[in-house]
Amino acid sequence: MWATPCEFSECRQWSDDQKSRRMVILQNFQRSKVAVRGADIPRYALCMSLAKKRIFLTLVLHLCLGFAFAETIVGKVVGVADGDTVTVLDATKTQHKIRLSGIDAPEKAQPFGQSSKENLSRLVFGKHVLVDAGKFDRYGRTVGKVIVDGVDANLEQVRAGYAWHYKKYEREQPIDDRGVYAQAEAGARAGRVGLWHERTQVAPWDWRGCRRKQPGTEGVDCGTRFRQ
């Protein structure tokens, strides 16, 4: 005998007929349906089963698609991978890979990639920081604003000419930050500081796109002809 869908907060059974063969169809997250078969299964157990499945599916979606959240991470910077990625060690000895939000720095193999990393190291390495985190990216890194001694390290990278304002994701920034970051890049360009000292620059997103299109990078000009 068919029974009604089981809601997340309440399970209702319409019929007690043919208890030995009853089937309960559960309405699950985003139209997925879970069928639970068995005799005399307590309604509490059915609800708990659905709750666990819903939590699992939600976690999977979060990991696969990335999701927004609000979190503050406080700790010491113990690693700097490049001009926009650091590792923070918190009080519980947990390491957090942090991708600086709102900016995109040259890749390490690009001109000024090493200089960008060194500038970020001078700003934050070995120091205690506060990370205003907003989401995870597709690589599992925490994306957020890194504050050191009251200074926005992300903004300082742009201001020093060692990163672009990442306009592709500017809508994820607070409105005030969008304007400040854009002005910082414009000022760095006008002052020809950092990477803007060169006449021609290749944005890191263009450089990555070039490398993806050219599996064999030997002899491929993706902007690497411009030396630091």
Spans of all domains in the chain: 2-65, 68-213
Q: What confidence score (pLDDT) does residue 203 get?
A: 93
How many angstroms separate the CA atoms of 25 and 23, rounded?
6
* pLDDT averaged over 10-residue windows placed end to end, the chain, 228 residues: 42 41 40 40 54 57 55 97 98 98 95 96 98 94 97 98 96 95 97 92 89 58 48
- Could you give the strand order of the β-sheet that contains 2-6, starting from the edge strand earlier in sequence? 2-6, 23-27, 33-37
CATH number of 68-213: 2.40.50.90
Work out whether the CA dihedral 155, 158, 162, 164 comes out positive or negative.
Answer: positive
Active site residues: 99, 107, 141
Residue of 62, 91, 52, 87 lying closest to 75 (CA atoms): 91
Q: Which pTM was predicted?
A: 0.66
